[in-house]
Structure 1
Amino acid sequence: MRRLLYALLGVLALLVLAALAIVAFNLRGEDKLPDVPAAFSATPAQVERGRYLALAGNCAGCHTTRGGAPYAGGLGIDTPFGTVYASNLTPDESAGIGSWSAAHFWRAMHNGRSKDGRLLYPAFPYPNFTRVSREDSDAIYAYLRTVPPAPAPNTPHKLRFPYDTQAALAVWRALFFSPGGFVPDPAKPAEWNRGAYLVDGLGHCIACHGTRNVLGATEEKLGLAGGPVENWYAPSLNSKREAGVADWDTRHVVALLKNGTSPRGSVMGPMADVVYRSTQHLSEADLQAMAVFLKQLPERAPTAAATAPARRDAGVMARGAKIYDQQCAYCHGDAGQGAEGAYPALAGSRTVKMDSTVNLVQALRHGGFLPSTAGNPRPYGMPPFGHVLDDDGIAAVLTYIRGSWGNNAPPVTQRETMRR
């Protein structure tokens, strides 16, 4: 009886908090729009700039389904709370944003509200887009008005209760979101600030590379500590053991973002799609600025576990060595040396030695493919081996790779190779 009473009191407290949050947000003057929308007339230069900015923000990555009309929405984004579906951004009057004004679009970007004032889910990364300038927001809006209208209706979200309520969103926003803007650091050069604007704002890199709390809010602003995305792991951008580039030559960072590959590494999984759809299309100046910013992220110290010697089972290592010789050595070399310009070296690879083994398992089971870019139009790829190797085989060969040729990473367990 007492537990039931406590549960009821908890629900009542949540409802009170939700009501207070809704009142607080509805009273904010930031959401008031003029009764009569201001006239909007775009110039060709503004439209072209909007096209470029939409690429920088990788808007099509979420708002275009495979084989679907550009920006017509419909892509499902899986979250721990259910599936959120990207909306139609075409200028269709009924299904898209054809009836929206530039102010409506700005409010969505800056405040996370739809045309009717409804709170938007942060799967649309307005916690980052709030830093985008009104000038850039208007340019993106101008460009979207020029794409072909598509009558594709928006797909309703499929979220569990209470996450499917505006009250829950209001509480989330009260806890984790406050509209803002990009504030340049006067102690940093203009190039660094431009990189910060692109990485932390329009590029919303933390949406994948940041850890999230139990309610889905990113826990660090610039820490970019890494996190799960589409059954892959987005590695930390401020750890040399993962995807940090502090010790990289700037031109190698630029090459990675532009071509998908560089002398220091290459991309695959969801990041390959980012390079294909977004970063390969950016100017050299913007890529340089992003590289400068990323190189100066504060470095995370390695954990004690990362430096401890690993212990491996001799039988597992023997089985892994046999699988490697049969399936992997032809491309990656007998000693994991790889082939320059074609197949990456596994000896000394930080991808191989990373604490998270998610990407290794995904690449081995489903294959790993670099994006086709202007600088690397015919990239080499890795075929899938999920039809050849069972979970034990994948664990064995990865354990062997992580424990050979100077690599000293912990063995891979069967649990880590569970089907995804």
Structure 2
Amino acid sequence: MTKRITAILVGLGILVLAVFLIYAWEPSIPEQEPPSPGDFSEAMIEQGRALAGIGNCQSCHTVDPERPLAGGRPFPTDFGTLYSTNITPDPATGIGTWSREAFHRGMRQGVARNGAHLFPAFPYTHYTLVRDEDLDALYAYLMTREPVNAEPPDNQLRFPFNVRLLQAGWKLLFFEEERYQPEDARPELWNRGAYLAQGLGHCSACHTPRNKFGAERTDLAYEGAVIDNWYAPALNTDSRAPVAWTEASLYDYLRSGGSTYHGVAVGSMADVVHRGLGEAENRDIRALASYFSAMAEPGSDEQARQTATATIQSAQRRTADTLGYGEKVFTYACASCHYNDPDNPRALRPDLSLNTALRADNPMNLIRVTLEGVGNEEGLPGVVMPGFAELSNADISALLHFLRATHTDRPAWDNLEDEIERQRQKVATNTESEQ
């Protein structure tokens, strides 16, 4: 009887494995000669350029600015490190031999030309929503870039996460191929923004927590998450922003990299704004602003102005009642730039009482900006902030505790000095790797 049960279980196991292999197998699509630039119209290429900006393709697929889109950027994950691929039309190391059909399948189903399953660090889970005509334009743009012969490093994933075939099982659990369907009850501008944000923009990929398998928690969409050692804040009604994001302030932030009532784009978001959305048309930036402002349920611009004034006045009153070490550090390092008239706050030197990072549950972003500053390629054009890494951990801790206590109504952060030291070490490691 035992042998019979064992035989049945083994047989069932073999059957399940066979069914999975049949399900997981994807055919190779034949290679083709790289298309000629003359195969595409200038209008299609230009449309593809703007869409590639919204998708932030260059940021993820570029390490050396002299070799754009040649891949090789590392993406550390809980399962190991992935490296972005070469998406130039080089026939040997890029996608030059990919047909339109192969490109569409890769973008929408996460399957390479040779039939290999792509890892979901490539956001095909979002690109599946994109329309045919936009994928065609993106294909035209990529196939008319300068070919670069560059082989990215091999992925360094732990077993069994390095087995591509198993990605078929991940897709079975967490992926559904579909196209974006407009919501009839919403205006056209909102639908355009939703289509871009959910599709090529893949905004929730950074702003949504993930489960232990690396899939987005759709039940917690846009509630904020840590990515690339930055905290991507909540974009919905859970936002900690002291002033609600209006459509106008979102447009300013996404177009220029800063908002008077919210601060400036740094880190990963600076890449999105300046290297990605900088290529997008104004109408698409306005569409994104329409979509996200509705998500946060904002008030009017006048209500935002009044809230900002009241917030700054409250912070200044609380500051007047203190004279501790943290305030002395603020006076020395920050006040000359960040002190504002409550009735006329300045975007170029934002008032910290309006800064979302100061109100976040996680102090990560504020610590990193304090240590690293804001460079020329971040924030607002032509406006920089020096880093203050020369301050001790105790100095920065006192400063941030002072700001948190006087410029917000949020509770104090725990173990702040430990987190400052952790971020200091990460900043030092990142600096060494770039040299």
TM-score range, shorter chain: 0.7 to 0.9
Q: Which residue of 2 aligns with 1:25?
A: 24
Q: Which residue of 2 aligns with 1:170?
A: 168
Contact 1:75–1:86 under 8 Å retained in 2: yes
Contact 1:73–1:89 under 8 Å retained in 2: yes
RMSD, aligned α-carbons: 3.2
**Counterpart residue identity of residue 418, structure 1:** E
Q: 1:284 to 1:244 in 2, by over 3 A?
A: farther
C-alpha offsets along residues 56-102 of structure 1, whole Å, 9 cap, x if unaligned?
11110111113341111111111111111111111111111111101
1:259 corresponds, among 240, 243, 256, to: 256
C-alpha offsets along residues 294-317 of structure 1, whole Å, 9 cap, x if unaligned?
1122669xxxxxxxxxxxxxxx99
Shift of 1:16: 8.8
Tell me the distance in 2 between the aligned counterparts of 1:72 and 1:173: 27
SS at 1:294's partner residue? helix
Tell me the distance in 2 between the aligned counterparts of 1:140 and 1:406: 44
Q: 1:38 to 1:146 in 2, by over 3 A?
A: closer
Shift of 1:198: 0.5
Q: 1:329 to 1:244 in 2, by over 3 A?
A: closer
Q: Which residue of 2 aligns with 1:349?
A: 355
Contact 2:90–2:149 under 8 Å retained in 1: yes
Q: Which residue of 2 aligns with 1:65?
A: 63
Answering whether residue 243 of structure 2 is matched by residue 250 of structure 1, we say no
SS at 2:353's partner residue? coil
**Counterpart residue identity of residue 295, structure 1:** S
Shift of 1:36: 9.1
Q: Which runs of 5+ in 2 are unaligned?
A: 1-11, 299-321, 427-435
Identity of aligned residues (%): 35
Answering whether residue 378 of structure 2 is matched by residue 381 of structure 1, we say no
Contact 2:28–2:114 under 8 Å retained in 1: no
Tell me the distance in 2 between the aligned counterparts of 1:45 and 1:143: 10
Q: Which runs of 5+ in 1 are unaligned?
A: 1-12, 301-315
Tell me the distance in 2 between the aligned counterparts of 1:350 and 1:271: 14
Q: Number of matched residues?
A: 385
2:406 corresponds, among 404, 409, 414, to: 404
Contact 1:56–1:282 under 8 Å retained in 2: yes
Answering whether residue 334 of structure 2 is matched by residue 328 of structure 1, we say yes
**Counterpart residue identity of residue 290, structure 2:** V
Contact 2:237–2:295 under 8 Å retained in 1: no
Shift of 1:273: 1.2
Contact 2:28–2:113 under 8 Å retained in 1: no
C-alpha offsets along residues 196-215 of structure 1, whole Å, 9 cap, x if unaligned?
11011110001111111111
**Counterpart residue identity of residue 350, structure 1:** T
SS at 1:47's partner residue? helix
Shift of 1:225: 1.2
SS at 1:297's partner residue? helix
Contact 1:227–1:235 under 8 Å retained in 2: yes
User: Which one is further off, 338-347 or 166-175?
Assistant: 338-347
- Structure with the higher helix share, 1 or 2: 2
User: Which one is further off, 109-118 or 221-230?
Assistant: 221-230
Query: What are the residue-to-residue correspondences of 1:198-213 with 2, within 5 Å?
Result: 198-213=196-211
